[in-house]
Amino acid sequence: MKRMNPVGWGVLVILASVPVSDPAAAETQLTDFIGSWQGAGTDRNTPFESMQRTSCQATISADLHHMRTGIVCKGAAGLTKVIQLNITLVGEAFSGTLSQKATTRGSSESVLEGAVSGHKTDKNANFRVSFPGLTPSVDVALGLNNPSSFSLSATTFGGQLMNVSFNRTSKP
């Protein structure tokens, strides 16, 4: 058996001491969402309505522990939603508030105010918005697809309310 020369051992020791980074394991920070976003997908105000195509604009500001999101969506069949989401992150858990004003062409505005609770993983956040009274809770899945794209899906009673993919239009 041939012995490795001292230069070979030196190269092996240097290679073994270089930290290996796994880009797939990079953790998403709230600050990764800062900026303006444009989205398209489907939406409806209640589980009993038909889904409609929608286009959305989102503006997000954040630091490492707080995120403030404003979303305006306009549906092809006349549904307009204005959503404000404010969360505080502690570890992997977060809490906050969500308000939504929805108007369908020809009808009066409906307003919902709810409490948000959930958790995040490396690339995703899952949370529940709980509303007072008889209004059902909504489960939301938010995923950062890449640095310039994220998706948002909201469901209640197992039926989808919103499914929108966003693309970054500007980053401060």
Q: What is the pLDDT of residues 129-139, one digit of tens each?
A: 999 998 899 99
Q: Determine the pLDDT at residue 29.
A: 87
Name which of 129, 118, 68, 114 is nearest 90 in CA terms.
118
CB 115 within 8 A of CB 100: no
Specify whether the CB–CB gap between 62 and 33 falls below 8 A: yes
Domain assignment of residue 24, yes or no: no
The answer, yes or no, to whether residue 33 has pLDDT greater than 60, is yes
Is a pLDDT exceeding 60 seen at residue 141? yes
The answer to whether position 20 is within a domain reads no
Number of domains in the chain: 1
pTM of the model: 0.81
3 in a structural domain:
no
Share of the chain above pLDDT 90, in %: 69
Token pair belonging to 42: 């489907």
Residue predicted with more confidence, 131 or 26: 131
Helix (H, G, I), strand (E, B) or coil at 31: helix
Per-residue pLDDT for 42 more than 90? Answer: yes
Q: Is residue 104 part of a domain?
A: yes
Give me the mean pLDDT over the 6-35 stretch. 50
Task: Give, as one character, the DSSP assignment of residue 18.
Answer: S
Residue at 5 is within a domain = no
